[in-house]
Amino acid sequence: MKVLILGATGFIGFPAAEAFVRAGHIVYGTTRSARSAEQKLSPKEIIPVVADPSSEEGMAEWGKIAARCDIVVDALSANGAKTAIDTFHNYLQYVNRPKGSPKPTYIYTSGLWINSRGYGGLDKWTDERQPTSTYNEGVQWRPLIEIPVLESEKVHGIVIRGAVVYGREGSAVATSIFDRALEASKTEKKIFETVYQNESRVASIHTDDMADLYVRVAERGPLLRGQVFMASNQATERLTDVLDAVVRVSGCNGYKAKTPRSAYEEAWASTTLIKPSLGDALTGWKPKKMSLVDGMDIYWSSYLANKNLNE
Ligand SMILES: NC(=O)c1ccc[n+]([C@@H]2O[C@H](COP(=O)([O-])OP(=O)(O)OC[C@H]3O[C@@H](n4cnc5c(N)ncnc54)[C@H](OP(=O)(O)O)[C@@H]3O)[C@@H](O)[C@H]2O)c1
């Protein structure tokens, strides 16, 4: 297959692009940076498309390549519904396959906070068969792009909703927890502030396991159109267990709760009770990595190493 990853240098997009390469596909990837094209994408056999994906010229450039691809993955950083909708519409404008040809597949990367129902019992539990929720205000824009993708007649539209993604540079785990712990570890008190509630439970997934789900779903695109997959481990972890593990590996003495100051921070402390099963049922997908808490020594070391490399 020919695959185009929009946002191929990203925390999710890069491992996904590498996984498609390893699976034997021809992989194109966008980046706005010529340096990233040369140093990050080309060495990994990802064919760089140097363009700003949301500029007029950039849209024309990647649009022409997308038109020749069988799979397009939107793994661009989240910037609200408009950018994602414009990206999808640009793609639809360029896809013009003759009648009777196989339809290409479009995968939109979403987040599973749109399913969160908060802490509780089975009434709060969710999975791929459950409807979205209005619990997290900050992600209520997601259906505005998910629905047109899932209902598309022109392409096989699929959504992958990521849990909190961990590993490597750490992404939101780094900005919300690791960066704060690292900073605090250099102070006298060694106490970091972070947003959490005592009962918060986190659904999470390693970026390599999520990458494996993209490949499995993309290869079965024609069978899976209109489906939503949750990229999450089978069990959630208590956020304070994650924080206790960070205290252990960072040399900090502890942490204290910071009041959420944005809809994003409210969502970060929210609970999503989930045990996904559609990825396994339809593609045989099973996450293999250690959980965030159990593998914390590895994930903290990798975060530090990536931080040093990028400085
Ligand atoms: N990270 C998580 O834990 C997580 C969890 C659930 C869902 N998600 C969702 O997954 C999607 C991808 O997330 P991510 O964390 O992988 O994203 P990311 O690493 O922040 O960004 C992906 C890529 O987007 C490009 N980009 C960034 N800002 C841009 C801009 N202003 N204009 C055009 N391109 C830009 C960058 O490529 P260049 O700089 O090379 O151009 C970047 O490498 C988002 O929708 C996010 O909400 C993420």
* Extended strands (E) in the chain: 2-6, 26-31, 47-50, 71-74, 105-111, 125-126, 156-162, 164-166, 191-194, 201-202, 204-206, 228-231, 237-238, 254-257, 273-274
- Count the helix, strand and coil residues of the chain and give each as a percent rounded to the nearest 5: 45, 20, 35
- 221 close to ligand 1 (CB < 6 Angstrom): no
Q: Which of 5, 18, 77 for mutating ligand 1's site (highest number of atoms within 8 Å of CB)?
A: 77
Beta carbons within 8 Å of 30's beta carbon, 6+ residues apart:
4, 5, 6, 7, 8, 48, 49, 50, 51, 53, 58, 62
What residues does 238 pair with on adjacent strands? 201
Q: How far is the CA of 74 from the centre of ligand 1 (A)?
A: 9
The residue contributing the CA closest to ligand 1 atom 29 is 77
Q: How far is the CA of 232 from the centre of ligand 1 (A)?
A: 18
Residue 16 · residue 73 · CB < 8 Å: yes
The DSSP result for 114-147, as a single string, is GG---SSSGGGEE-TTSPP-SS-GGGTTHHHHHH
- 9 close to ligand 1 (CB < 6 Angstrom): yes
DSSP 203: -
- 279 close to ligand 1 (CB < 6 Angstrom): no
Q: How far apart are CA 250 and CA 240, in angstroms?
A: 15
* Phi and psi torsions of 158, nearest 5°: -135, 145
- 53 close to ligand 1 (CB < 6 Angstrom): yes
Q: What b-and-e string marks burial along 206-221, b requiring 16 or more CB atoms within 10 Å of the CB?
A: bbbbbbbbbbbbbbbb
**Atom of ligand 1 lying closest to residue 52 CA:** 33
Count CB atoms within 10 A of the CB of residue 251: 12
* Phi and psi torsions of 117, nearest 5°: -125, 5
Can you give the pLDDT at residue 50?
98
pLDDT along the chain (311 residues), means of 10: 98 98 98 98 98 97 98 96 98 94 97 97 95 97 98 97 98 98 98 97 98 98 97 98 98 97 96 97 98 98 95 82
Can you give the pLDDT at residue 79?
87
- 116 close to ligand 1 (CB < 6 Angstrom): no
Give the ranges where 175-274 is alpha helix by DSSP (H): 179-185, 207-219, 221-224, 239-250, 263-268
Q: How far is the CA of 78 from the centre of ligand 1 (A)?
A: 6
Q: How far apart are CA 207 and CA 276, in angstroms?
A: 16
Q: How far apart are CA 185 and CA 55, in angstroms?
A: 42
What is the bridge-based pairing of β-strands 125-126 and 273-274? parallel
- 175 close to ligand 1 (CB < 6 Angstrom): no
- Under DSSP, is residue 231 helix (H, G, I), strand (E, B) or coil? strand
The residue contributing the CA closest to ligand 1 atom 22 is 10
Taking the CA atoms of 163, 169, 170 and 172 in sequence, report the sign of the dihedral they define.
Answer: negative
Q: In the chain, what are the domains?
A: 2-167+204-234+273-289 (3.40.50.720)
- pTM, full prediction: 0.98
Q: How far is the CA of 109 from the centre of ligand 1 (A)?
A: 10
Amino acid at 181: A
